[in-house]
Amino acid sequence: MRVLDASFVQGFMRMADDGWQQGWHERNGGNLSYRIRPEEIEQVKEELVPGVWTPIGTTVPALAGEYFLVTGSGKYFRNVMTRPEDSICIIELDEKGENYRICWGLTGGGRPTSELPSHLMNHEVKVLATGGKHRVIYHAHPANTIALTFVLPLTDEAFTRELWEMATECPVVFPSGIGVVPWMVPGGREIAVATSELMKQYDVAIWAHHGMFCSGEDFDLTFGLMHTVEKSAEILVKVLSMTSVKRQTILPDDFRRLAVDFKVTLPEKFLYEK
Ligand code: 13P
Ligand code: ZN
């Protein structure tokens, strides 16, 4: 089968285009990665041409030998639908999880996203934490979430609680909460370590003054998670634009009742009295 005809590639392209249409990917902003199943890579094997081994910039031994579909560095989400073979690539990791090689894509040259260390360290944490269920890591630059990083305290507690309060579905969609990474230089191992540490507890990490990372089982769930958090952030931006004092809101005991009916566990650290 041709790579571009495979359903995981079609799903990846659709998700990238959805993110572009949401306005979350100005220029080359954002990046996406998918951990390919063995049977999926088998389907497209004859089109793979391995390139040279290149250091990842970190070590991910739990992902040794795995294949990933990832966006290219400097490539535009806007072009993924029309020029997929130049915008995205399939990479293979070596037996130590130290190097990658491009096996398909990036036909005009280039390399995988500069956030590859963060993507792969997040994948590694999620493989270990979910028994391999999570396959998608998504980074975007959604404006409302970024705006809040100039206004709210940069704590997991503040972001989780304020965003839970903005829509009743939020604690059900991201019950474990949201982690916050303070401003750091992007693109390297340091921010990857900080983010993946948060991903041990959460499926969402916000990078102050930069954007958001989400992890999920498939394209629908991961896109839906980013969409839900950003929608909630949009409501909070609107509320804060009208008033600094909410007249009414969802209270800690309301969240506790919701948790029982929807069968989710909401950590008490987010249900503090204000
Ligand atoms: P890349 O073009 O290297 O993926 O970088 C975009 C980005 O959002 C960096 O954080
Ligand atoms: Zn970014």
Percent of the chain with pLDDT over 70: 100
Q: How far is the centre of ligand 2, averaged over its atoms, from the C-alpha of 186 (Å)? A: 7
Pick the residue whose CA is nearest to atom 1 on ligand 1. 73
pTM (predicted TM-score)? 0.98
Q: Per-residue pLDDT averaged across 89-96, rounded?
A: 98
| Number of residues in the chain | 274
> Could you give the angle at the alpha carbon of 40 between the alpha carbons of 35 and 43, nearest 5°?
145
Distances (CA, A) of 272 to 162, 237, 256, 269: 11, 22, 12, 6
Establish whether residue 115 lines the binding site of ligand 1, counting it when its CB lies within 6 angstroms of any ligand atom.
Answer: yes
Domain architecture of the chain: domains with CATH: 3-264 (3.40.225.10)
Q: What is the pLDDT of residues 147-205, one digit of tens each?
A: 999 999 999 999 999 999 999 999 999 999 999 999 999 999 999 999 999 999 999 99
Establish whether residue 110 lines the binding site of ligand 1, counting it when its CB lies within 6 angstroms of any ligand atom.
Answer: no
Q: Per-residue pLDDT averaged across 7-31, rounded?
A: 98
Q: Per-residue pLDDT averaged across 7-13, rounded?
A: 98
DSSP E strands, the chain:
31-35, 54-55, 67-71, 88-93, 99-105, 136-140, 178-181, 204-207, 211-216
pLDDT, residue 115, reads: 98
Q: Per-residue pLDDT averaged across 36-61, rounded?
A: 98
* Shortest-distance atom of ligand 1 to CA 186: 10
Q: Per-residue pLDDT averaged across 9-29, rounded?
A: 98
Among 113, 137, 181, name the best residue to mutate to test ligand 1's pocket (greatest count of ligand atoms within 8 A of Cβ). Answer: 113
* Shortest-distance atom of ligand 1 to CA 31: 4
Phi/psi for 180 (5° steps) reads: -125, 130
Q: How far is the centre of ligand 2, averaged over its atoms, from the C-alpha of 148 (Å)? A: 16
Establish whether residue 252 lines the binding site of ligand 1, counting it when its CB lies within 6 angstroms of any ligand atom.
Answer: no
Establish whether residue 28 lines the binding site of ligand 1, counting it when its CB lies within 6 angstroms of any ligand atom.
Answer: yes
Q: How far is the centre of ligand 1, averaged over its atoms, from the C-alpha of 231 (Å)? A: 22
Establish whether residue 97 lines the binding site of ligand 1, counting it when its CB lies within 6 angstroms of any ligand atom.
Answer: no
pLDDT averaged over every residue in the chain: 98
Pick the residue whose CA is nearest to atom 4 on ligand 1. 113
